[in-house]
Amino acid sequence: MTDTLPLMLPTRDAGCDWCVLPAFLPLQGMGGLTVNAFLHKGREPVLVDTGLAALGDAFLDALQAEIDLADLRWIWLSHTDADHIGNLTRILQRAPRARVVTNFLGMGKMGLLGLDTGRVQLLEPGARLTLGDRELVPLRPPYYDAPETLGFLDTRSRTLFAADSFGALLPAPADSVTAIEASALRDGLVTWSAIDAPWLATSDRDALGRSLHALERLAPTTLLSGHLPVAEDGIAALTSVIFEAWCAAPSDPADPQAIEAVAKALEGSPEARLEV
Ligand SMILES: [Fe+2]
Ligand SMILES: [Fe+2]
């Protein structure tokens, strides 16, 4: 194995009937990225995302060590990026009772990818997924990289799933957020947010700040992110980093692909005049 291949890590309990199926994807020169799926082992078991295709057998082994896939009822798709739907088809083949939870755009993108949409459970705006002893209330995280993104709050345990929000580049795999040195966590959060959601640089800072504070008011006990080890001490340490980076600091004018930057660079340039 080389250090550029993804690695499946040991399954870890995340509390309140949730467990995390973590992997680590090395990124040359940048450390690496956690890639998580999550399993809720309650009355109506839910798998949240389906891991990396490159880890197919290892992912399925880890998942089947936790649950008989014949019992799986729901597959909650955060969005249709490759790092979240990598093993969807294989799991659906082994989980005949499972239905895929997504929204209209998510279903459309599944169709464009050639995926089976026959077992989609469409989540209409305002709808919740009821699991018997709890509900998963859909929410749009503060930032994301695909418009169909669906996070949720588990009403029983107040576990929050934030999809790609709060992902961080890390120097090495970690069991939990508390195991990461503070400056490494801050740098990793800011760098990954700039890569994954470059629109943060031009977003409405007040609106983003309100969104972060609203998330804090939900008072989640545990944060599950697709790209961060489990955070079991709430979210304030994470939201404050994102607030400082994107809401409190002056905007960065240095992006050479910003439309304003391109327009300024072309001002007075004869090559840029439109021929009509
Ligand atoms: Fe994504
Ligand atoms: Fe992702």
Tally the C-alpha atoms within 13 A of residue 240's C-alpha that lie toward its C-beta.
6
The phi-psi region of residue 126 (left if phi > 0; otherwise alpha if psi is between -120 and 50; otherwise beta) is left
pLDDT number for residue 70: 97
Q: Which of 77, 143, 63, 74 is nearest to 110 (CA)?
A: 77
CA of 270 to the centre of ligand 2 (A): 42
| DSSP secondary structure letters along 127-139 | --EE-SS-EEEEE
CA of 247 to the centre of ligand 2 (A): 23
- The b/e string for 136-150 (b: 16+ C-beta within 10 A; e otherwise) is bbbbebbbbbbebbb
Ordered by start, the domain boundaries in the chain are 7-272
Provide the pLDDT confidence category of residue 96 given band limits of 50, 70 and 90.
Answer: very high
DSSP 176: B
Q: Is the pLDDT of residue 274 over 70?
A: no
Q: Is the pLDDT of residue 235 over 90?
A: yes
Q: Which of 171, 163, 168 is nearest to 26 (CA)?
A: 171
* Domain range 7-272, its CATH number among 3.60.15.10, 3.40.50.720, 3.40.50.2300, 2.60.40.1120: 3.60.15.10
Provide the pLDDT confidence category of residue 273 given band limits of 50, 70 and 90.
Answer: low
Quickly tell me which residue has 């969807």 as its tokens.
Answer: 88
CA of 226 to the centre of ligand 1 (A): 9
Say if pTM beats, i.e. exceeds, 0.95.
no
Mean pLDDT of the chain: 93
CA of 125 to the centre of ligand 2 (A): 23
pLDDT number for residue 63: 98
